[in-house]
């Protein structure tokens, strides 16, 4: 019986031990839940109040701008009603409007006349006779038309400084004036500094223009509007004065206002900041959360962005400032209940509680120390990784700069000597060969970078079919043979009977070319590079061996990693980006194969082995022969009329020369408009279109051609000749209606063959 009572006492004491914590947890959870609920409601109220303020300010801005645009339309009506409006009539019109009293924020209403250069002296003389004080038209540079300010009322000291100024000479103002003239509507300028800013404290400004035409009414077409343009009525605005009156009119003293010209709230487009940069999103000086809201809206011919930010006074009535005190009170009450409850329990188990507390404290301290050690170690590791990444980035950028500048130096140097005429005939032929070779080097570097980008993003794909490897290796050998001969390295080819593989012939040739180029690069003069092909145990093996510098055992595991070279001296001695072998590994793995390297050490050469699974059954297709060295037949494209469209003049001339040498008749266009004009007047057999052209690009132009009323024009075959060389670019071109896609730089024979094939089809 006694044992049962003791056991009951221990259980009861253990259960009572958690009562104070349960009370504390319940109190804190209840306080936190209430705080979250009240805080969310306060934030929602604040956001709603801020949104209402934004709407009120935006509505006031748009209403005010529309009112001032209506004033300009009234002024334009004055000029439409009379062929000649005198200074007295214009001044009386503006005085009756009472701008200062009824329309705060506007600096005035003016008229800028459009005057042909030949009529300028006579027009100024007539204005002065009428009493208009136009001392000079400035800036004074000669031009076909002048647009000086002749009327600007009220003519106070600020506005007087602007009379005679030709606003059309300033690009931002001219853009708005041209838009207004073309569209026959009001147009707002971008951010400018007004000529009226004659005081030390200057403000940003803007102007609103409305065209005035000689016919009174707005002509129907754009050309008629430009031809009959008489001038512009306009109003200048000091942005700070204008926007402060708007903010005062809506009574928003709890928020600050910033207005930007355009969609982007950047400092260079800031029209006005009511707090002069003091208000910003985040937290106020007393810890109060600051709210901010942005909204873009349209003004005549322009987009403005309004940013409204709350001031500390905004939050005084929201209840959010009282929330921390409520949370603190709830926490205090919870802790008081906890203390009272715990005191009762502690009377029964103070010794046990003290021991448990000490044990928990020691465990917590040990855990904290262990966590601190882990964090310190992690920080060291992260710093080391960051430093290594920074070094790798710097080395990569330096190598990339070297690899791009080296061939560019040869191209520019030899091209300059050819242009100066300082080379003999045999030297000119040598210069052409050097320029072509270095241009191919840069093209290959760009292709390697693009391939690595596709590998990283998982967008490198292959198009497989049954092929034999021998033609691919032979084509690669032909491509690298000149480099080997120039360096004094002998090339040997040991083919054998091998079965077909399932692969992409172009990518397999790229694998062979990369391995051979790498072997030649690291083999000194007098050395030897051997390529062999064998069928081994259901696989086809391609081996490329050299007698070059060899590899250290420590570097072999990193051989096929991107941007990895033996050391920095490798780049200086041999060039390269460390991309070729990484591309080889990825291409071989896409074909289901493997690539490996072996070396007996530095100075003993290296052997690279590619193993691809052999395909059982089915004949393999031979790879297409390399036609890059075939000559140009002057009649190859005889009788073909080709229309070449490109906005780049150099590319246009090159394509025209290639096709003309092959016997084609070539028509040239540099824009969509010229292209459609030529197709309307002349018959052509094939189109060669650039894609990335300003205004209307190649896709839009082809859509216009495919919608042409003439059957012969609609059905013209089209080739996309573009620098967009990705696989998705080729797919998009075919989906858009192009029959072929050629990427720049384009081989001459490829271009001629594409034109001939499409015309024959």
> What is the pairing mode between strands 594-598 and 606-613?
antiparallel
Is pLDDT of 13 > 70?
A: no
* Domain final position from 613, 629, 650: 613
Contact 439, 407 (CB under 8 A): yes
Residue 714 domain boundaries: 641-760
**Mean per-residue pLDDT over the chain, rounded:** 83
> What is the pairing mode between strands 149-153 and 490-494?
unpaired
754 and 690 in one domain?
Answer: yes
pLDDT of the residue at 2: 45
For 457-470, write each residue's pLDDT tens digit: 665 667 778 888 88
Tokens 């030897």 correspond to what residue? Answer: 528
632 or 239, higher pLDDT: 239
735 and 647 in one domain?
Answer: yes
For 619-630, write each residue's pLDDT tens digit: 444 444 343 334
Q: Which residues contact 357 (CB under 8 A, 6 or more apart)?
A: none
Whether 66 is in a domain gets the answer no
Is pLDDT of 632 > 50?
A: no
pLDDT of the residue at 738: 95
Contact 270, 258 (CB under 8 A): yes
Orientation angle between helical segments 425-457 and 323-420, nearest 10 degrees: 160
718 and 597 in one domain?
Answer: no
Whether 199 is in a domain gets the answer yes
Quote the number of domains for the chain: 3
pLDDT of the residue at 247: 82
* Domain final position from 214, 248, 282: 248
CA distance to 5, 292, 555, 565, 609, per residue, from 561 (Å): 74, 48, 11, 9, 16
592 and 668 in one domain?
Answer: no
Most confident of 71-75, 355-359, 367-371: 71-75
Tokens of 266: 């950047």
Whether 628 is in a domain gets the answer no
State residue 529 phi and psi, 5-degree precision.
-120, 130
242 and 126 in one domain?
Answer: yes
pLDDT of the residue at 182: 97
* Minimum mean pLDDT range among 402-411, 655-664, 683-692: 402-411
Contact 328, 348 (CB under 8 A): no
Tokens of 386: 């960051």
- List the alpha helices (DSSP H) in 591-709: 649-661, 672-681, 698-706
Q: Which residues pair with 531 in a beta bridge?
A: 493, 544
Report long-range pairs for 458-462 (Cβ below 8 Å, ≥24 apart).
459/726, 459/727, 459/728, 460/586, 460/587, 460/590, 461/590, 461/727, 462/503, 462/504, 462/507, 462/587, 462/590, 462/591
662 and 609 in one domain?
Answer: no
690 and 559 in one domain?
Answer: no
Looking at residues 268-282, what average pLDDT do you find?
75
645 and 605 in one domain?
Answer: no
pLDDT of the residue at 552: 78
For 173-189, the three-class secondary structure string (H helix, E strand, C coil) is: HHHHHHHHHHHCCCEEC
């Amino acid at each position: 019986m006694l044992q049962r009572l003791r056991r009951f006492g221990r259980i009861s004491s253990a259960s009572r031990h958690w009562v104070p914590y349960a009370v504390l947890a319940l109190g804190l959870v209840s306080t936190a839940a209430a705080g979250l609920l009240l805080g969310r409601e306060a934030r929602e109220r604040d956001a709603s109040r801020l949104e209402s303020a934004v709407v009120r300010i935006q509505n006031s801005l748009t209403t005010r701008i529309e009112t001032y645009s209506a004033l300009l339309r009234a002024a334009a009506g004055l000029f439409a009603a009379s062929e000649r409006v005198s200074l007295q009539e214009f001044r009386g019109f503006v005085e009756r409007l009472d701008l200062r009293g009824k329309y705060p924020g506007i600096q005035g209403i003016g008229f800028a006349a459009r005057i042909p250069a030949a009529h300028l002296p006579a027009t100024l003389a007539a204005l002065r006779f009428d009493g208009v004080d136009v001392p000079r038209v400035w800036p004074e540079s000669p031009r076909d038309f002048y647009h000086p300010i002749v009327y600007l009322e009220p003519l106070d000291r600020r506005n007087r400084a602007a009379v005679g100024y030709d606003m059309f000479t300033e690009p931002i103002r001219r853009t708005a004036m041209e838009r207004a003239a073309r569209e026959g509507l009001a147009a707002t300028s971008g951010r400018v500094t007004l000529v009226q800013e004659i005081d030390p404290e200057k403000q940003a400004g803007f102007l609103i223009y409305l065209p005035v035409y000689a016919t009174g009414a707005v002509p129907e077409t754009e050309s008629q509007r430009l031809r009959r343009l008489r001038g512009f009525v306009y109003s200048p605005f000091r942005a700070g004065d204008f926007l402060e009156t708007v903010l005062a009119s809506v009574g928003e003293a709890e928020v600050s206002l910033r207005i930007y010209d355009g969609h982007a709230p950047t400092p260079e487009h800031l029209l006005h900041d009511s707090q002069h940069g003091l208000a910003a999103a985040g937290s106020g000086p007393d810890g109060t959360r600051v709210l901010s809201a942005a909204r873009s809206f349209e003004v005549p011919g322009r987009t403005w962005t309004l940013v409204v930010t709350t001031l500390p006074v905004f939050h005084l009535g929201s209840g959010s400032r009282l929330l921390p005190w409520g949370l603190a009170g709830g926490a205090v009450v919870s802790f008081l209940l906890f203390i009272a409850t715990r005191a009762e329990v502690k009377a029964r188990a103070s010794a046990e509680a003290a021991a448990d507390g000490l044990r928990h404290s020691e465990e917590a301290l040990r855990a904290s120390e262990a966590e601190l050690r882990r964090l310190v170690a992690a920080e060291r590791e992260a710093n080391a990784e960051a430093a290594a990444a920074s070094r790798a980035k710097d080395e990569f950028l330096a190598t990339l700069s070297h690899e791009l500048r080296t061939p560019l130096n040869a191209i520019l140097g030899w091209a300059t000597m050819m242009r100066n005429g300082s080379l003999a005939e045999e030297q000119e032929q040598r210069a052409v060969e050097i320029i072509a070779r270095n241009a191919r080097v840069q093209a290959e570097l760009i292709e390697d970078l693009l391939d690595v980008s596709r590998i990283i993003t998982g967008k490198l794909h292959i198009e497989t079919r049954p092929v034999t490897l021998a033609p691919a290796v032979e084509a690669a050998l032909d491509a690298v043979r000149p480099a080997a001969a120039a360096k004094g390295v002998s090339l040997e080819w040991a083919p054998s009977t091998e079965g077909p593989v399932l692969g992409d012939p172009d990518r397999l040739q790229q694998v062979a070319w990369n391995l051979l180029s790498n072997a030649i690069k690291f083999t000194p003069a007098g050395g030897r590079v051997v390529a062999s092909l064998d069928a081994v145990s259901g696989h086809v093996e391609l081996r490329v061996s050299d007698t070059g510098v060899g590899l250290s055992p420590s570097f072999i595991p990193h051989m096929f990693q991107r941007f990895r070279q033996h050391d920095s001296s490798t780049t200086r001695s041999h060039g390269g980006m460390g991309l070729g072998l990484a591309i080889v590994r990825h291409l071989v793995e896409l074909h289901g194969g493997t690539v490996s390297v072996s070396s007996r050490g530095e100075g003993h050469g290296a052997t690279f082995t590619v193993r691809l699974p052999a395909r059982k059954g089915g004949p393999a297709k031979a790879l297409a022969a390399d036609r890059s060295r075939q000559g140009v037949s002057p009649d190859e494209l005889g009788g073909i009329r080709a229309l070449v469209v490109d906005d780049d003049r150099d590319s246009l001339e090159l394509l025209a020369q290639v096709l003309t040498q092959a016997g084609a008749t070539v028509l040239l266009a540099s824009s969509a408009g010229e292209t459609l004009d030529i197709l309307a007047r002349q018959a052509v057999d094939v189109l060669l279109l650039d894609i990335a052209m300003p205004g209307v690009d190649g896709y839009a132009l082809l859509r216009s051609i495919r919608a042409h009323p003439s059957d012969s024009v609609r059905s013209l075959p089209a080739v996309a000749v573009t620098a967009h060389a990705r696989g998705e670019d080729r797919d998009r071109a075919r989906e858009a209606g192009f029959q072929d896609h050629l990427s720049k730089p384009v081989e001459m024979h490829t271009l001629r063959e594409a034109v001939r094939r499409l015309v024959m089809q």
